[in-house]
Amino acid sequence: MFKKILQKLFPFLFSSKTYLAYGVEESPNKYPLDKARYPLMASYIHEESLKHGEPIKVLDIGCRDGNMMLYCEQNGSRVEFHGMDITKKDLETAIERGYISGFQHDIRNRPFPYKDGFFDAVICSHILEHLEHPGEVLEELQRVMKKDGLLIVGVPIGLLPGILWRRYITPLYNPRKRKEEALRRFEHVSFFSLP
């Protein structure tokens, strides 16, 4: 009975039909919230490519299977994508989709395998929250990016009371949420609020 109520309220959760989310990649609905960041990032990349008047070099940190390229192709951006990810199979898919290069690398290891000031733009979407020292990665991104380059960073934003609760209180009663355990499982270990 509970399932029937959920099906009435949220039919898209139970549908076997797929759509092209934002006209680009398969999804159970047309405008999934988890994909909303991609059209926005693609619009920033597009503006940057128009500003330069030629294809720009973009480093996509944690590029996964290269779906960022699909969104940039849709809006007509002129981009040479370079991907960096920890998973070899995803990098292979990104290369098949048209990424110029794909480097298998754990971003906790620095330096990155790129020259100083090589990229016009860098995308680092939903990566920093997985790192114990995100500032060190940002310094390295600054090194590989041109002086007036575009840095696109996305992180989950929380409210300060919730962040403090999760960081200091939850580990007291849930050993799985202690910093060392969270790091071992490579989950969110850094928390961000809007300020």
Where do the domains of the chain lie, and which CATH numbers do they carry?
A: 33-154 (3.40.50.150)
Average pLDDT over every residue of 173-187? 67
- The fraction of the chain above a pLDDT of 70, given in percent, is 91
Residue 166: is it exposed, middle or buried by C-beta count within 10 angstroms (0-12/13-18/19+)? middle
Lowest mean pLDDT among 31-40, 142-151, 163-172: 163-172
Of 5-19, 28-42, 160-174, highest mean pLDDT:
28-42
| pLDDT for residue 43 is more than 90 | yes
Instruction: Compute CA distances 106 → 36, 109, 130, 137, 166, whole Å.
Output: 26, 6, 12, 11, 26
| pLDDT for residue 40 is more than 80 | yes
**Which pTM does this prediction carry?**
0.80
